[in-house]
Amino acid sequence: MRVHICAVGRLRAGPEKALIDDYLLRFDRSGRALGLGPATLHEVEDKKGGGMKAEAALLQRVIPKGAVICALDERGKVITSPEFGNLLAGWRDTGRGDVAFITGGADGIAPELRARADYKLSFGKMVWPHMLVRVMLSEQI
């Protein structure tokens, strides 16, 4: 099962990018034996300032057709790392070819796109900076 991280905003060189690159490289090496991977980061940017609705349209363009959509959202379910692994394994074992983890910009994910998600995942009750969410997600993957 291919893994896609679909995120609003471009990550520049720095510690967050270095961590994501490291975690995704580790995943690509170890995931193959588990039937997972590769992992791809798709970054979109709303240069016209259209807000959440414009960001959602850009995100929808990079989500593979037929992918499981998992929205990273503070209203989502808080789960443990083993539960997260089981979630991925379950999608893989039911024959899903792609999973797309979507993260919005500073204002979150547009309600219409969030409603389309097959699963909503939260990293806790606190709201995290969207760039840091990518790091945490990459590590969990």
DSSP 9: S
Which CATH superfamily groups domain 2-140?
A: SPOUT methyltransferase, trefoil knot domain (3.40.1280.10)
pLDDT of residue 117: 98
pTM for the whole structure:
0.94
Q: Tens-digit pLDDT profile for the chain (141 aa)? A: 999 999 999 988 899 999 999 999 999 999 998 999 999 999 999 888 889 999 999 999 999 999 999 999 999 999 999 999 999 999 999 999 999 999 998 889 999 999 999 999 999 988 888 889 999 999 999
Q: How many residues does the chain have?
A: 141
**What is the domain partition of the chain in residue ranges?**
2-140
Closest to 52 in 3D by CA, of 93, 92, 112: 112
- Strand (E) positions, 22-136? 39-44, 68-78, 98-103, 119-122
